[in-house]
Amino acid sequence: MPSITFEGHRYPANPGETILDALLRHGALMPSKCKTGSCRTCMVRVVAGTPPPAGQKSLKDTQAARGFILPCACAPLDDITLAHVHVADHEVTLTVAGRHELGPGAVRLVLRSPEPFRYRPGQYVNLVRPFDGRVRSYCLASAPDEHDLLEIHVARTPNGDMSRWLCDDLREGEPVGCYGPAGDCFYLPNDIRRPLLMVGIGTGLAGIHGILQDALNHGHQGPIHLFHAAEPGAHYLGGELLALAGRLPRLTYTPCGAEPADMAQAVKAHRPDLAGWRAYLCGAPAGVKAMQKTAFLAGAAMADIYQVAFGG
């Protein structure tokens, strides 16, 4: 009889019983609603054992790759250990290893982890200010390497408490708390010929930059069209991206305006048909929402649209 380990307790499951039913029968505190695998209230992460495929059928492939399952939709295949989805993989203190202006509106921070930090480029981390515990999220623009350096892009938000500290006060060598990573907006090398639409809105280019690097590191073969939406004068890394697009015929880089209507117009003009495309959208919520609609109306399947909205 397989057993389920959850929050330090071990529960035996009856043959054919779903993981959720077994946990509830034993009195474990597990949120649930529909019990049919559609609302995702019960989603948990498998940290040891085999994720049952029946529990991943309706999830995004990036969620399945992170070991998430819906325990109401599957029985355990063997002994399995589960954790809540929000339990962080790492909790570390990073130190500032570098700081570079990205034009007038943003700063690139390079942060060193004291230990290997496993993440997928495009995921985000939650940074913690040591002296008051303030927490804000930032997308990872880097790809993991042997130096354990993480890169983030921080916009100077007007009157922004954390962003001002990160952009203007924090000095090299100083500590920043960090837990994470989180988020399901990242590249999966399961279909390297798939055309990819990437839209970074403002410092949403951070996540997109990470996903682009990861796709290229995996030898992605399909076309990639990257749009960077920003206010006039606020596009950054333009020279680097143009030079990269010059060397890689499958990559196209298009800067565009920051208003949702400007982005939608730019994407429609260049890519009117997105059937079969995967879309990665990252940045301000209004822009992400508008681009999700644009991509969907142009033919992209909802399951192929991955997004990170900066709040809202």
Ligand X SMILES: Cc1cc2nc3c(=O)[nH]c(=O)nc-3n(C[C@H](O)[C@H](O)[C@H](O)COP(=O)(O)OP(=O)(O)OC[C@H]3O[C@@H](n4cnc5c(N)ncnc54)[C@H](O)[C@@H]3O)c2cc1C
Interface residues with ligand X (CB under 6 A) are 124, 136-139, 152-155, 157, 159-163, 203, 206, 284, 308, 310-311
- The nearest distance, CB 7 to ligand FES, in angstroms, is 18
How many amino acids of this chain bind ligand FES (CB under 6 A)? 12
Tokens describing residue 155 = 């916009």
Burial track 4-19 (b if 16+ CB lie within 10 A, e otherwise): bbbeeeebebeeebbb
Q: Residue 49: which of ligand X, ligand FES, none does it interact with, CB under 5 to 8 A by kind?
A: none
- The nearest distance, CB 148 to ligand X, in angstroms, is 19
Q: Residue 26: which of ligand X, ligand FES, none does it interact with, CB under 5 to 8 A by kind?
A: none
What is the distance, to the nearest Å, from the Cα of residue 237 to the centroid of all Cα atoms in its chain? 20
Instruction: Give the separation between CA 141 and CA 207, rounded to whole angstroms.
Output: 5
Nearest alpha-carbon partner for 184 in 286, 280, 287, 253: 280
What single letter denotes the amino acid at residue 13? Answer: A
- The nearest distance, CB 259 to ligand X, in angstroms, is 14
Residue nearer to ligand X on the CB measure, 17 or 89: 89
Q: Residue 190: which of ligand FES, ligand X, none does it interact with, CB under 5 to 8 A by kind?
A: none
Inter-helix orientation angle 285-297/260-270, to 10°: 30
- The nearest distance, CB 279 to ligand X, in angstroms, is 17
Residue nearer to ligand X on the CB measure, 18 or 62: 62
- Pairing between strand 90-101 and 106-112? antiparallel
Instruction: Give the separation between CA 6 and CA 8, rounded to whole angstroms.
Output: 5
Q: Residue 153: which of ligand X, ligand FES, none does it interact with, CB under 5 to 8 A by kind?
A: ligand X
x-or-dash string of contact with ligand FES, 280-299, rule CB under 6 A: --------------------
Asked if 57 interacts with ligand FES (CB under 6 A), we say no
- The nearest distance, CB 140 to ligand X, in angstroms, is 8
Q: Residue 40: which of ligand FES, ligand X, none does it interact with, CB under 5 to 8 A by kind?
A: ligand FES
Is residue 278 within 8 A of residue 194, CB to CB? The reply is yes
Is residue 16 within 8 A of residue 75, CB to CB? The reply is yes
- The nearest distance, CB 109 to ligand FES, in angstroms, is 38
Instruction: Give the separation between CA 5 and CA 74, rounded to whole angstroms.
Output: 15
x-or-dash string of contact with ligand FES, 12-41, rule CB under 6 A: --------------------xxxx-xxxxx
CA contacts within 13 A on the Cβ side of 53: 0
Residue nearer to ligand FES on the CB measure, 70 or 94: 70
Helix (H) or strand (E) holding 285: helix 285-297
Question: Residue with structure tokens 């599957």?
Answer: 74
- The nearest distance, CB 300 to ligand FES, in angstroms, is 24
Instruction: Give the separation between CA 140 and CA 151, rounded to whole angstroms.
Output: 6
Binding site for ligand FES (CB under 6 A): 32-35, 37-42, 70, 72
